[in-house]
Structure 1
Amino acid sequence: MSGYVVDMEGRFRLTKKPPFLTPGYQAVGQKLDDVKGIRKRVLLEKDTTYDVPLQPQQTVVQFNSTYLETTGRNERRRGDAVGWGLALGFVGLSVSNGIIFAIMRFITDFNIVYLSVCLILAFSMILLFFVPLINVLSTELLTTWHYPIRFNRKTRKVYVRQYNRKVEVYNWDELTFFIAYISEDRDIRAVTFDKDGETVTGMFALAFQNNVIDQSLISYFEFIRRYMEGDDQQLKEVKEAIRYIYPIHKKRETPLMSFKRLILNVLYYSHENIEYPERTFRFYPVTLVILPLLALRYVGRVISMLTSYQHCFSRQIEAECQIDPNDPYDLNKNLPEGNLEQRNQPIWKTVSYSVGIAIATIAMLFVGAFIIDMMGAVRPHGDYPSMVGKLWYVVSLGWLF
């Protein structure tokens, strides 16, 4: 979970510094060398032009000559907290009920004292499992559709919406960037320092991360850096590098879009340029093993989107980000070639996509049920109910007859 809530507090804080409720990095107020979770750092220079291809990596939400807005770092993991929360919640309730049932079996003289003990035990188990979980779930439930990072080219400010609902404003010229090596992958951090040049006063992560090679991270950083530092010719280069606009700022993600965003992290080489997914698609048979987890993550993402709302910056920030109505660089008005799903397309394509997703979801559930049945079959005693049979009973509408 360290990467999941990287340098961002959850919505709820019960104490001043609750590491058990906000796993990740408590960076502010520490010297950068003392920040836990970062094994290695590679400095990135804002005044150096890196000779690498520009790779937006399908993170661009809005683009024009005034500002560039991207998703937050964990957008491609959206739904994981909800999906795992559902699974852990089920386990927590099952364990709690099992303990209470076991205790009550040994209670022969049932009275109010024993009942009180059971209720206290149940409440304690619920707290044990769910209080830490609430803080993580708050990053995906009843929150905004996305956590934007907006780079204003004209005011040279960066606006970052954090998990705790706060919008932090940074001066681009005061930011220091570096590649951070953490436990499960690598990302790009932006930090500001106190007057001593060592104590961290602010930190956030850019949208793209991977665990393979640094060059893809440098390509993404150069995409952002060249937008903020480049001249008009370089601005044109940045614009031409964008093939896809993710329109999460103005409309809720559809189930189809949720499915596409989910598989970006699974079936594509993220260290290549996934602006061109037809070139980066890779499928390995081992992927079939994790289908149940994908189904869980997909359901979690859909629930997360359905319970969330549109993000809006303050009037002051929007006033600083006024767009010229005739801006030739406004890609939200002139969608690039990668936004096929937003163009007018035949109804049969929409129906085909919807049916395909439904079939894929059912297939993932059946694979998960089969694995559960295989684990149950090795039990030495007792009859284990067939999960495949129960799922087929539901899917085949046998409960209607």
Structure 2
Amino acid sequence: MPLIKNVIHRFHVKRPLTARERELRLDIRKPAGDAPHYQLSLIRLNSTFVECVDKWYAERGFGAMFGAAAFSAVAFGMWVLVTNIFKHWHPIGLFFLLVFPVLLAVTAYIFLCDAFTYTHYPIRFNRKNRQVYAFRPDGTVLKAPWDRVYWTILGHANPLGWLNVAGHVMDESGKTVLETFALSVNSTSKQGEVKLRNHFEFFRLYMQEGPAVALQRIQPVPLIMLPPIDRQKESWAFGWERITLTLNGSPLLQILAQVFFLPESLFRWIVMRTSKIPQWPQWVEDECRIEPDDPWRREPGYRDEEAIAAMQATAGARRNG
């Protein structure tokens, strides 16, 4: 059922660039933002490559929760209809009897867009061979030259839409979008474009100037890598924490939103337990070999404890001052 499993990950392709995409293009030769940030998206980092999660990772669980809730509501409505249709016959009842199975299929479809897929869809930036690798929903890998990917901000700033930093793979003429993948940060506001640009700037710095510059520029923010999601499935506790962090900086909203976040975290746990951990094919690993004595090697679960302690000390001094 590849269509069901992949529909949520689709982009509009085989099309020309829009005027907005051309206007918001991100040039890899120019700084995209003043405060680069990795936004808790990194899986692995070293002198050869940096690997991050995809745009859907932070939202995992929501689709399954919505699909399950809608499926339950439709199933209940269908049960009420069936138990009463012969007692209080009306022609419109036959119409709903035909519609409800379709609605059940649609809501199950939504659930399966999230569950029974992959736990995440990693993106790898190799600065040595200047290639970008993106894990596709069907388990294959997209490989594209960093210098030829068309980077832009995709979407529209409104409450119902999402903005993402997207990488377009173009045809030879440079006019038609053949394939699209997106980085992990989402936004719904015009102001959020700054956050998106700063997120892209981290990867631009890594590819153009190396890990030393990229990590130096994020200071004083400490480097905290994701847990080893490339080898094991995340815990419920981490899933809940990752969902809650979508409102980072707004503690009151984080508390109020728990009425939604707690059940969503349960469905996220179900999604992760029913999904497969993506595995890079051997040819990708061969092209991304890491030197055994690499001084910039940062593995999953790494935390810059010294920087964390310094940041906490600074925050404490401000509160006491």
Alignment-derived partner of residue 283 in structure 1: 252
Percentage identity across paired residues of the two chains: 21
In structure 2, relative to structure 1, the CA distance for the partners of 1:246 and 1:64 (3 Å cut) is same
In structure 2, relative to structure 1, the CA distance for the partners of 1:84 and 1:338 (3 Å cut) is farther
Instruction: Give the alignment partner of residue 47 of structure 1, picking from 29, 53, 63.
Output: 29
Matching residue's letter, 1:12: L
Shift of 1:246: 0.5
Alignment-derived partner of residue 389 in structure 1: none
Alignment-derived partner of residue 351 in structure 1: none
Alignment-derived partner of residue 293 in structure 1: 260
Mapping 1:140-289, distance limit 5 Å:
140-182=114-156, 183-212=160-189, 213=191, 214-231=193-210, 233-237=212-216, 243-247=223-227, 248-266=229-247, 268=248, 280-284=249-253, 288=256
Q: Counterpart of 2:181 in 1: which secondary structure?
A: strand
**Quick check: 1:62–1:331 contact (8 Å CA) kept in 2?**
yes
Shift of 1:234: 2.1
Alignment-derived partner of residue 2 in structure 2: 11
TM-score normalised to structure 1 length: 0.66
Distance, in Å, in 1 between the alignment partners of 2:119 and 2:210 is 33
Aligned length: 297
**Quick check: 1:41–1:180 contact (8 Å CA) kept in 2?**
no
Distance, in Å, in 2 between the alignment partners of 1:100 and 1:122 is 8
In structure 2, relative to structure 1, the CA distance for the partners of 1:174 and 1:265 (3 Å cut) is same
1:96-127 deviations in Å (ceiling 9; x for gaps): 112212212247xxxxxxxxx98x9767522x
In structure 2, relative to structure 1, the CA distance for the partners of 1:26 and 1:140 (3 Å cut) is closer
Matching residue's letter, 2:279: C
Q: Counterpart of 2:179 in 1: which secondary structure?
A: strand
Matching residue's letter, 1:104: F
**Quick check: 2:225–2:301 contact (8 Å CA) kept in 1?**
no
Q: Counterpart of 1:44 in 2: which secondary structure?
A: coil
- Unmatched 5+ stretches in structure 2: 308-321
**Which stretch of the first structure deviates more once superposed, 132-141 or 232-241?**
232-241
Distance, in Å, in 2 between the alignment partners of 1:233 and 1:135 is 45
Instruction: Give the alignment partner of residue 72 of structure 1, picking from 40, 54, 69.
Output: 54
**Quick check: 2:4–2:112 contact (8 Å CA) kept in 1?**
no
In structure 2, relative to structure 1, the CA distance for the partners of 1:244 and 1:100 (3 Å cut) is same
Distance, in Å, in 2 between the alignment partners of 1:315 and 1:254 is 27
1:339-374 deviations in Å (ceiling 9; x for gaps): 99xxxxxxxxxxxxxxxxxxxxxxxxxxxxxxxxxx
Distance, in Å, in 2 between the alignment partners of 1:193 and 1:295 is 41
Alignment-derived partner of residue 112 in structure 1: none
Shift of 1:41: 4.9
In structure 2, relative to structure 1, the CA distance for the partners of 1:130 and 1:62 (3 Å cut) is farther
In structure 2, relative to structure 1, the CA distance for the partners of 1:206 and 1:220 (3 Å cut) is same
Distance, in Å, in 2 between the alignment partners of 1:226 and 1:133 is 42
- Unmatched 5+ stretches in structure 1: 1-9, 15-20, 108-116, 269-279, 341-401
Distance, in Å, in 2 between the alignment partners of 1:24 and 1:316 is 24
More contact order relative to length (CA 8 Å, sep ≥ 6): 2
Shift of 1:166: 3.2
TM-score normalised to structure 2 length: 0.81
**Which stretch of the first structure deviates more once superposed, 160-169 or 215-224?**
160-169
**Quick check: 2:170–2:177 contact (8 Å CA) kept in 1?**
yes
Q: Does 1:132 align with 2:112?
A: no
**Quick check: 1:245–1:339 contact (8 Å CA) kept in 2?**
no
Alignment-derived partner of residue 18 in structure 2: 33
